[in-house]
Amino acid sequence: MRTRTACALVFALVLLLPAAARADGPASVHLTRCKTGPDPSERTATYKAWMRAVPGSVRMALRFRLVAHYPGHHPEVVADSKLRVWHYSHHEVTRYGYRQTIKHLAAAGTYRTVVRFRWYDANGQVIRRAKRVSGACVQKGQLPNLVITGVQISRAPVGGNYVYGVSYANIGRGEAGSFSVALFVDGALADSREISGLGPGEGSTVYLNGPACRRLRAVIDRENAVPETNEGDNSYRARC
β-bridge pairing 87-88 and 110-120: unpaired
How many whole angstroms separate alpha carbon 70 and alpha carbon 140?
Answer: 10
What is the side-by-side order of every strand in the sheet holding 235-239?
Answer: 188-195, 179-185, 215-220, 235-239
Average pLDDT of every residue of the chain: 89
Q: How far is CA 53 from the centre of its chain?
A: 32
Give percent of the chain above pLDDT 90: 80
pLDDT in tens, 26-62: 999 999 999 999 888 899 999 999 999 999 999 999 9
β-bridge pairing 59-69 and 76-77: antiparallel
pLDDT in tens, 203-236: 999 999 999 999 999 999 999 989 999 999 999 9
What does 21-70 look like in DSSP terms, one character per residue? HHTTTTEEEEEEEEE--SSGGG-EEEEEEEEE--TT-SEEEEEEEEEEE-
How many whole angstroms separate alpha carbon 112 and alpha carbon 69?
Answer: 9
pLDDT value of residue 38: 87
Arithmetic mean of pLDDT, 115-126: 98
Arithmetic mean of pLDDT, 155-170: 90
pLDDT value of residue 158: 72
Decide: residue 119, CB within 10 A, 0-12 exposed, 13-18 middle, 19+ buried: buried
Q: SS3 for 156?
A: coil
**What structural domains does the chain harbor?**
6-138 (2.60.40), 146-239 (2.60.40.10)
How many whole angstroms separate alpha carbon 119 and alpha carbon 60?
Answer: 5
